[in-house]
Amino acid sequence: MPEPGRNFDAESARASWDAAADPYGSGQAAGRDYYRYEFFGPAHIELCGDVSGLRLLDLGCGNGYFAREMAERGATVTGVDISPRMIERARRLEDETPLGIEYRVRDAAALGDSFADGSFDVVTSCMALQDMPDIPGVLGEAARVLVSGGRLVASIVHPCTDTPFREWERDEAGAKRWLCIDRYFERGPLEYRWVGWSADFTTTSMHATIEDWFRWFREAGFVLHDLREPQPTPAALAARPELEDAARVPYYLLLDLGKP
């Protein structure tokens, strides 16, 4: 269960993801991050549609998972992340398998002179916006660097099930019976301890309501084209039965937003 977060700002976010970069990356390489690779990642890719020939900016790119997926589908990709260590790992993967991706260390809420207005056709962010302290600032920058008619295609944790109190009730054998959630309207940073990786680490995310998120999107000038609450496909469940809980309650929210 998450704990209330403290001192959630750009510097603390950078420090926590720098510390997380190596265990997170090695865990991904070992198949630990199967929710991303086998569930919400493919759903996000599908929502992006055809990106061939488009200029694409990936915000909160981490070690480059989604940037690589977009580049493999023909986009000209730039990835930015606040963590220098994450970008170092992304560049190393680019060196090993070149896809023409440019990676930069940047705070997504303060891109400044890095990119001119209207520099990109598409902005993506794969399960990263909630990990950024200044979400309205990030959305404002995403709108600024998009061309008119451009899209922001983002995935976030589902606000209704990623709450300050969140715990599975289990039976005597340890099987999940139902998800207990509470304190949905308590907005603010939450700390998450990641266990079972090559080393434990802690990161902070911002919990906000659905109403908050859509107000931020509107204030940044976006309009909603599509919204999805993905479920694992039958094939994914057959291959990975551990995803069964995600077929019962919505864990993620995918959004296709346009800049008029």
Q: Residue 29: what pLDDT?
A: 85
Mean pLDDT of 179-197: 95
Is residue 251 exposed (0-12), middle (13-18) or buried (19+ Cβ within 10 Å)?
Answer: buried
Which percentage of the chain shows pLDDT scores above 90? 93
In this structure, of 23-37, 45-59, 217-231, the range with the lowest mean pLDDT score is 23-37
- Summarised one tens digit per residue, pLDDT across range 102-159 is 999 999 999 988 999 999 999 999 999 999 999 999 999 999 999 999 999 999 999 9
Identify the band that residue 3 occupies on the pLDDT scale cut at 50, 70 and 90. Answer: low
Nearest-10 crossing angle of helices 84-96, 10-29: 40
Instruction: Count how many domains the chain has.
Output: 1
Q: 190: closest CA among 165, 175, 207, 171?
A: 207
Rg (CA), the chain: 18
Judged against a pLDDT cut of 90, whether residue 205 lies above it is answered with yes
Neighbours of 117 (CB within 10 A): 9
> What pLDDT, on a 0 to 100 scale, did the predictor assign at position 1?
58
The pLDDT, as a whole number, for residue 31 is: 86
Name residue 53's amino acid: G
Across 106-183, where does the E strand assignment appear?
120-126, 146-157, 165-170, 176-182
Average pLDDT, the chain: 96
pLDDT for the residue numbered 201: 94
Q: How many Å apart are CA 81 and CA 51, to the nearest integer?
A: 21
What's the pLDDT at 196? Answer: 85
pLDDT above 80 (res 5): no
pLDDT category of residue 198 using cuts at 50, 70 and 90: confident
**CATH, residue 218:** 3.40.50.150
Q: Could you tell me if 81 and 58 are in contact, meaning their C-beta atoms sit under 8 angstroms apart?
A: no
Grouping H, G, I as helix, E, B as strand and the rest as coil, residue 33 is coil
Tell me: the pLDDT tens digits for 71-81? 999 999 999 99
Structure token digits, residue 92: 């190393």
- HEC per residue, 214-239: HHHHHHCCCEEEEEECCCCCHHHHHH
Residues spanned by the domain of 40: 3-258
Backbone angles phi, psi at 99, to 5 degrees: -125, 5
